[in-house]
Structure 1
C-alpha cells in the first residue's frame, strides 16, 4: 500500500466561520470513529477567520475512496459556505482516486524523493 495525502484550502464566506467550524467538528467525529484507514485528519483556521486548511493522510487510495464515500453526502453543505480554493493531492493516487477527486479541481503531485520518520 502507498500512502496518499492531500491539502485542501477553503475560503469561508463572510459570517459563516462558526457554522463552518461546527460542520468541520462533525466531520472529525465521523472520520475518527469510522475510518481506520484515515491516518491523519487535521483542520487549521487562518488568523483572518476566512481561510481553512485541511490535511488528510490515508494508508492507501482505497482508504481515500472510503473516506470520500463517507463524507461525500455532506460535502454540498460545507461547500455552500466555504468553497474549495485549492486541493493538492500528494503521493501516487490510483486512477480511481484521481477520478473521484477530479470534480473538486485537484492538482496531483507524485512523490519522487524523501522519507518519513
Structure 2
C-alpha cells in the first residue's frame, strides 16, 4: 500500500449558505490544485444543499502544509458557513498530521490489507 492519507469530511451547511460556500470552495480548490502532494480533492453536495462531503487524498508529507498554508487563509470563512459533522482519516498519519486534524474531530482508521493504484 502507498503511504498516503485520505480524509473524508462530512459537513452540514448553514441554512441558505450554499452559494457563498460554493464560491469560497472554488478559491480553495484553485489554491489546492497547485499543491503537488495533493492527489485528489473533491467536494460533493446533497440535492437539498444541506450536506457536503470532501474526499481528500494526499502524499503523507503534504497534509500539514495543506492545513497550515493553503487552507489556513480560508479557514475562518469556511467554518462560518459549515459545521463539521465528522472527519474520518485513512492511512498512517504521524503526530504532526494528527495535531492538525484532531481539532476537526478526526477518527483514525489504519489500513491492514488491500491496495491502491
Q: Does TM, scored on the shorter chain, surpass 0.5?
A: yes
Could you tell me how far 1:74 is from its partner in structure 2?
1.3
Structure 2 CA distance for aligned equivalents of residues 107 and 75 of structure 1? 20
Could you tell me how far 1:100 is from its partner in structure 2?
1.2
Structure 1 CA distance for aligned equivalents of residues 105 and 24 of structure 2? 22
Could you tell me how far 1:41 is from its partner in structure 2?
0.4
RMSD (Å) for aligned C-alpha atoms: 1.1
SS in 1 for 2:33: helix
| Structure number having the greater strand percentage | 2
Structure 2 CA distance for aligned equivalents of residues 116 and 72 of structure 1? 29
Structure 2 CA distance for aligned equivalents of residues 55 and 72 of structure 1? 18
> 1:102 is matched with which residue?
102
> 1:68 is matched with which residue?
67
> 1:17 is matched with which residue?
18
> 1:88 is matched with which residue?
88
Structure 2 CA distance for aligned equivalents of residues 24 and 10 of structure 1? 13
TM-score by length of 2: 0.94
Structure 1 residue ranges (4+ consecutive) displaced by more than 2 angstroms after TM superposition: none
Count of aligned pairs between the two proteins: 115
SS in 2 for 1:83: strand
Contiguous gaps of at least 5 residues in structure 1: none
SS in 2 for 1:112: coil
Residue deviations 1:6-27, cap 9 Å, x none?
0001100111010011111111
Could you tell me how far 1:73 is from its partner in structure 2?
2.7
TM-score by length of 1: 0.94
